[in-house]
Amino acid sequence: MEIFLDSSDIKEIRQLNKSNLINGITTNPSLLASVKTDFKILLKEICKEIKGPVSAEVTASNFNDMLKEAEIFKKIAKNIVIKIPLTQDGLQACHALSKKKIKTNVTLCFSPSQALLAAKAGATYISPFVGRLDDIGENGIELISDIRKIFNNYKNLKTKILAASLRTVDHVNKVAVIGADVATIPAKIFKELYKHHLTDKGIEIFSSDWKKSGMKILP
């Protein structure tokens, strides 16, 4: 499973990318607006740092303007993926862009039927939102499972499942078990993936025993 970072903070991205474990980036209008930097400059910097896919979301609500915004995004960098909302116009735009071999990420997916339509429209990625479904008492993880089963049923569907709105390490673990192709997570969750109390305890024990021995590895 690939790991994308859900962030528009270039300093944060650069720091975490030193791990060589980040495969791509997802952004949205809210994230880009929060940085208060020219979005073109920011996206260009992100695309230089991250060689994998970088999702940039259109803000238009109608088909024609979505395509115009997509053209602007594609001129920024070759690894830009056009992120499109799961609406009728969005699916139409997805189909049009897919025919031009332009990669797309259809976002704000909350049902298996929506995911199926996005796949039929030629989406490169579909982004089901786990946490937001949990917020309203529905099972976000079950959505990922249902989409995986549907896509496995039809080998002609090549769309990748990009599990989004993941808020805990357990979310990441569960979508990996199900078989999501990608998990996109905020920096906070990425840092927590390293952590386990037994790892910390084991290091403490080994370190203590080694110091007591008086031996050294380095001169």
Known catalytic residues? 83
Residue 121, phi then psi, degrees to nearest 5: -80, -5
C-beta separation of 44 from 72 below 8 A: no
The token pair at 140 is: 């976000």
User: In 3-state terms, what secondary structure has residue 56?
Assistant: strand
Q: Which spans in the chain are helix H? A: 10-17, 29-35, 39-49, 63-74, 88-99, 112-120, 130-135, 140-153, 169-178, 187-192, 197-213
H or E element, residue 109: strand 104-109
C-beta separation of 152 from 186 below 8 A: no
DSSP letter (8 states) at residue 26: E
The token pair at 64 is: 């024609």
C-alpha distance across the termini of the chain, in Å: 40
